[in-house]
Amino acid sequence: MPSLHALMWRSGIWAPAYRFAPAWRIPGRSNDGILPMFSISGCGHGGTTLLATILGAHPSAYLFDRETKWFLGLGPLALLRENKARRAMAASNFPEDTRVLIEKTPRHVFRIPYIRKLFPTTRFVVMVRDPRDLVASISKRIGDWKGAMVRVTLDFVAINRVKNDKDVLIIRYEDLVRDFQKTMSSISAHLGIEFDQRMANHSEFAPTWFNAESVEETDGAGKKAHVSRRAWQVQQPLFDGSGRYRKDLTAEQIAEVEAAFGTLVHDFYPQVAAHGVV
């Protein structure tokens, strides 16, 4: 059984100050020699790993196959992590045909203004997903229903803050898996790259995410099983994993999520408030 502190951290009840803190910067730091970055963030369990894997299959992209967490620190830690990010993003680290870097950390959705100040050319893609599926998935992973509700709430509050920013593109998980060509064309245009067929065949180029010890389909309960499942999912041909909440949640739980999130997700999932299927 995870400790109370661990459950609070994973669920989002523990809300570190970086979620709301102003940007720290190293004065006079130049971005010369730094490759452009695509930052993927958004809802935890919302498809960020899948999208990063798809974009990472592009022949001119380099994918960091982990959550970098570069921009989550405060004070001196933030400055240390900025240095780490700049070293990792230096063009000298990559082949000449590398044009863009793909970074994914769901919690970076809280730090988009900060990242923008440090690296103004960054383009952001923010993933959202039906909150019923999110709460079902997260609560299974951490064993904490209330914690899952809090985490998803915090994520959508942050997403609503940036949804109208010009350098931010909001993508629904359901659109990605059901209308891949159109959705990826939209993402490619936003990022300023051409669509490449390798992205459609992303499972052939997928890395082993998070240095997972085993890559297999699991129930996703617990950290180890969750990591294994995520690493397995992105190595499969694209499939639609939406609607699992119908199996994992009771009717009472579904109603609770719909009541809690109807207004918060209206711009993305108006059907939720109307008790409809996405």
Residues 107-164: tens digit of each pLDDT? 999 999 999 999 999 999 999 999 999 999 999 988 999 999 999 999 999 999 999 9
Q: Is 273 among the domain residues?
A: no
Range of the domain at 70: 4-268
Residues 75-97: tens digit of each pLDDT? 788 888 989 999 999 999 999 99
Q: Is 274 among the domain residues?
A: no
Tokens at residue 105, please?
Answer: 């950390």
pTM higher than the cut 0.85: yes
Q: Is 237 among the domain residues?
A: yes
Q: Considering its fold, how many domains does the chain have in total?
A: 1
CATH code of 146's domain? 3.40.50.300
pLDDT value of position 209: 81
Q: Is 128 helix (H, G, I), strand (E, B) or coil?
A: strand
Q: Is 278 among the domain residues?
A: no
CA 258 to each of CA 43, 82, 142, 146, 156: distance values in angstroms, whole numbers, following the listed order: 17, 39, 21, 14, 14
- Residue, of 251 and 233, whose pLDDT is higher: 251
What distance in Å separates the CA atoms of residue 116 and residue 121, rounded to the nearest whole number? 7
